[in-house]
Structure formats: structure tokens, C-alpha cells
Amino acid sequence: MAKVNQTYYVPDQSRWPIIGAIALFFLALGAGHLVNEVASGQTGFGRYLMMAGVALLAFMLFGWFRHIIRESMTGLYSAQMDRSFRQGMVCSPSSWRIWPLNSSSPKKALESSISREPT
């Protein structure tokens, strides 16, 4: 029986992570300025920086997903890569839901994690 090797697609470098980092920087900087403006009763540029960060983050998300969908639709991904994407979509959200199940309530789980003695 002949062994058939699948090709593994390695994507080119992407600009989306740096755009996301800049967007989160603007978002955090704007939120910080906005909190200080509200606390002091002044007006400033905090809300504009925050809106720019949200807009840039939305641009990054739409652009990055568009890029991934295009790669998938053109057939660049193998069956193994497709399975890996699907497993990641299933496993990641389920891991966030596991920790509250360790206790009768999320509040008790949080309290028990805070009150633990360091070893």
C-alpha cells in the first residue's frame, strides 16, 4: 500500500496581530483616560481613543476572519488542518466552563481559589 503524504499549509506572515495589538493599546489608553475624565468631571479625548480602539479591533476581527475564510475556500487547508480548527473550536469554550462545575456555585469556586494557602 502506497503512503500518501498530505501537504501542510503554512500561512504567510500576517499584519492582523499587530493591528490587534495597536487596537487593544488604543482601547486601554482610551478607557484609562475616560475613567480619569469621569472622575475629575472634565472632558477630553479618552472616549475618542476608546472608540478608535473599538473600531480598529472590529476592523481587525472582520479582516482576519475574512482572510481565514478566503484561505479555507481556496482549498489551502488539508483535512487534518480542518479537523484541528474544529477541535479548537470545541475544546476552547468548554475549558472555560469547567471551573465553575468544581463547586456548587461560581462564587464558592472563586472564594476557595482566593482563600487557598500557598504551598
Q: Which helix (H) or strand (E) holds 16?
A: helix 16-40
Question: How far apart are the C-alpha atoms of 72 and 85, rounded to whole Å?
Answer: 11
> Which pLDDT belongs to residue 78?
75
Question: How far apart are the C-alpha atoms of 81 and 55, rounded to whole Å?
Answer: 31
11: left (phi over 0), alpha (psi -120 to 50) or beta: beta
Name the pTM for this structure.
0.64
Residues of the chain with pLDDT under 50: none
Question: How far apart are the C-alpha atoms of 80 and 98, rounded to whole Å?
Answer: 27
> Which pLDDT belongs to residue 68?
83
Phi and psi of 61, rounded to 5°? -65, -45
> Which pLDDT belongs to residue 23?
97
> Which pLDDT belongs to residue 52?
96
> Which pLDDT belongs to residue 81?
78
DSSP 57: H
